[in-house]
């Protein structure tokens, strides 16, 4: 099978010149530091990280930092201040503080090569550009932007769709770092960008670096990847930053294996917050089965995909509250010492009486995650080194 996942390891450490801090929304913003090529986005598993709060709803940066390090050591990269991170509940200084805390935690744990995606979903073009500058200055390597759903009724008209196209093109032109376009009708007032619209944006905005499709339409992903995931696309529509390819991610891990077969780049999935090793394992096995055409790997990937799909469905049904509850419930089982806490008001906590049902539903995947943790410890003991630096290994790729 000749397909490409854009999975070659990033070029050696280096930098490109920053974008000048001028133009719509950039006034008064400092010029971000040069881009770090070794932190280029790559195929794989990304987790939309929840924002951890104290009992009085202040940022809990200690728990947050521990969590992003735990994910990175499993080979899972963070998306900060996204939907799961309660972005609408965060102030601009809080968004910046989270990125800086993650970057500092990575540096302290020899995880400097971990890329950070940050939400920059402002309610207007000007606001989004400001958030993109803030994210870049704090240490993010790309931003992810969902359409504002406040005026969704207008945006869903023909004039509104034309305006949305111009919004993304102008945002990409002004942003100092690449943009991922985020299609999630459930969080944007029902705005659902179709494959033709998204392909056009990929061609028209060289500073876009990919898509997150939480519409979970595998046919849409396939149609887009049939255009953007072939070598001719990079030649005909070169990116502003040549070392960052155009990557298309599914927004749920229950379609990870089908998405990879369709030439997708992986998943940005909330389930990876709870069981990062399991979701990353599915990615690695799936890529190997596609590369090698191995029946044994295919069977293993299909079986693991079934387990992941069921857990993803059960956990995502309960949204942010479900993820935070699960992080609190399984710390002792999975070897970490922080809790998920509660969402910020007005989001409610997990509904009463749901916890026992969710425990039963997650039992199989928790058992699988614990087995992978034991396997990782044994490998580390055999090698005489700690189990660390997952994302600094060679990136799995499709030929």
Q: Range of 50's domain?
A: 21-293
- Note the pLDDT of residue 154: 81
Residue 212 is a catalytic residue? yes
Residue ranges of E strands in the chain = 15-16, 35-36, 44-48, 76-80, 117-119, 142-145, 179-183, 208-213, 247-250, 266-268
- Choose the catalytic residue: 66, 203, 212, 240: 212
Structural domain count, the chain: 1
**Model-level pTM greater than 0.85?**
yes
Asked, for residue 351, whether it belongs to a domain, the answer is no
Asked, for residue 240, whether it belongs to a domain, the answer is yes
- Note the pLDDT of residue 160: 86
- Note the pLDDT of residue 216: 87
- Note the pLDDT of residue 304: 98
- Note the pLDDT of residue 166: 96
CATH value at residue 220:
3.20.20.70
CA 391 to chain CA centroid, nearest Å: 14
Averaged over successive runs of 10 residues, the pLDDT of the chain (399 residues) comes to 35 33 62 76 97 97 98 98 95 97 97 97 94 96 90 83 95 97 87 94 97 94 97 96 94 97 97 98 97 92 98 96 97 96 95 94 98 90 53 40
Angle between helix 195-204 and helix 158-174 axes, rounded to 10 deg: 30
C-alpha dist (Å) from residue 33 to 101, 136, 245: 17, 7, 21
- Note the pLDDT of residue 385: 46
**Cis bond before residue 346 (omega within 30° of 0):** yes
- Note the pLDDT of residue 326: 98
Cβ–Cβ under 8 Å, residues 27 and 254: no
Asked, for residue 199, whether it belongs to a domain, the answer is yes
- Note the pLDDT of residue 185: 86
- Note the pLDDT of residue 23: 57
Asked, for residue 337, whether it belongs to a domain, the answer is no
Asked, for residue 388, whether it belongs to a domain, the answer is no
Select from 262, 255, 192 the least CA-distant residue to 222: 262
Asked, for residue 361, whether it belongs to a domain, the answer is no
Cβ–Cβ under 8 Å, residues 224 and 157: no
- Note the pLDDT of residue 16: 29
Cβ–Cβ under 8 Å, residues 233 and 246: yes
Asked, for residue 153, whether it belongs to a domain, the answer is yes
Q: DSSP string of 61-101?
A: HHHHHHHHHHHHHTTEEEEESSTTTTGGG--HHHHHHHHHH
Asked, for residue 284, whether it belongs to a domain, the answer is yes
């Amino acid at each position: 099978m000749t397909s490409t996942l854009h999975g070659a390891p990033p070029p050696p450490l280096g930098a490109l010149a920053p974008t000048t801090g001028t133009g719509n929304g950039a006034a008064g913003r400092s010029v971000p530091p040069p881009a770090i090529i070794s932190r280029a986005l790559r195929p794989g598993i990304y987790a939309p990280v929840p924002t951890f709060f104290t009992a009085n709803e202040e940022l809990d940066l200690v728990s947050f930092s521990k969590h992003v390090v735990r994910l990175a050591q499993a080979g899972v990269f963070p998306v900060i201040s996204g939907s799961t991170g309660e972005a609408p509940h965060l102030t601009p200084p809080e968004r910046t503080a989270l990125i800086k805390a993650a970057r500092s935690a990575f540096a302290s744990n020899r995880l400097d090569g971990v890329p950070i995606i940050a939400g920059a979903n402002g309610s207007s073009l000007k606001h989004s550009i400001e958030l993109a500058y803030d994210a870049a200055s704090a240490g993010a390597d790309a931003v992810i932007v969902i359409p504002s759903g406040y005026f969704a009724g207008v945006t869903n008209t023909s004039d509104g769709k034309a305006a949305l196209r111009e919004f993304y093109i102008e945002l990409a032109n002004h942003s100092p770092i690449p943009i991922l376009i985020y299609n999630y009708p459930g969080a944007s007032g029902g705005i659902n960008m179709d494959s033709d619209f998204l392909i056009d944006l990929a061609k028209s905005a060289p500073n876009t670096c990919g898509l997150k499709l939480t519409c979970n339409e595998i046919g849409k992903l396939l149609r887009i990847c049939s255009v953007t995931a072939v070598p001719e696309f990079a030649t005909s529509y070169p990116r502003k930053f040549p070392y960052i390819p155009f990557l298309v991610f599914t927004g749920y891990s229950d379609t990870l294996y089908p998405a990879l077969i369709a030439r997708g780049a992986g998943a940005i999935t909330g389930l990876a917050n709870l069981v990062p090793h399991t979701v990353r394992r599915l990615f690695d096995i799936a890529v190997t089965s596609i590369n090698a055409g191995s029946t044994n790997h295919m069977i293993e990937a299909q079986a693991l995909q079934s387990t992941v799909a069921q857990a993803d469905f059960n956990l995502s049904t309960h949204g942010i509250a479900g993820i935070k509850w699960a992080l609190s419930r399984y710390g002792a089982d999975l070897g970490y010492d922080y809790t998920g806490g509660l969402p910020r008001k007005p989001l409610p906590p997990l509904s009463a009486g749901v916890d026992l049902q969710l425990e039963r539903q997650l039992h199989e995947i928790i058992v699988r995650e614990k087995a992978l943790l034991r396997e990782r410890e044994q490998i580390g003991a055999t090698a005489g080194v700690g189990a660390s630096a997952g994302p600094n290994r060679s990136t799995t790729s499709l030929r």
